[in-house]
Amino acid sequence: MMPPADRIQVDPGLAASCHQDNRADDFLAIGPALRILQLKVEGLSASKRSVIANIADRQNIDVICLQETHVNADISNRFNVSGFDLISYNLHARHGRALYVRNSLVDVPARSSTAFCDIVKVAATL
């Protein structure tokens, strides 16, 4: 059973190190950084979608890549993640995947989708 979304804790030290002037030990971000959240979800229930949306919102995630969604029916509400648009998905009872982008990002087309890979183009906005 998943804990409620508001009870998920993120290590504050890790979050602080990621946000500190956009710098790591040997890395300097020149422009806006694209934040990607990738998870193996082992089923895409409503409670998991809520937790994912909460984490993505708190960490300012731009792209969510989910694998092992275990969804084999094309039912739109099974893929809803608050604040994100579904770009591509692959149905499978034991596997499956879904790719989302933050709904504030515009013109994010799916470039290619195969049984094993999805490609999207996210343009920087200034």
pTM of the model: 0.71
A 10 A CB-CB count for 109 gives 10
Q: What is the tens place of the pLDDT at every residue in 75-125?
A: 878 899 999 999 888 888 888 999 999 998 877 877 777 777 888 888 765
Residues 6+ apart with CB under 8 A from 49: 80, 81, 82
- State the pLDDT at residue 125: 58
For the chain, domains (ranges, CATH) are 29-120 (3.60.10.10)
Q: Please, what is the Cα angle at 99 between 111 and 21, to 5 degrees? A: 95
Positive or negative CA dihedral for 68, 70, 71, 72?
Answer: positive
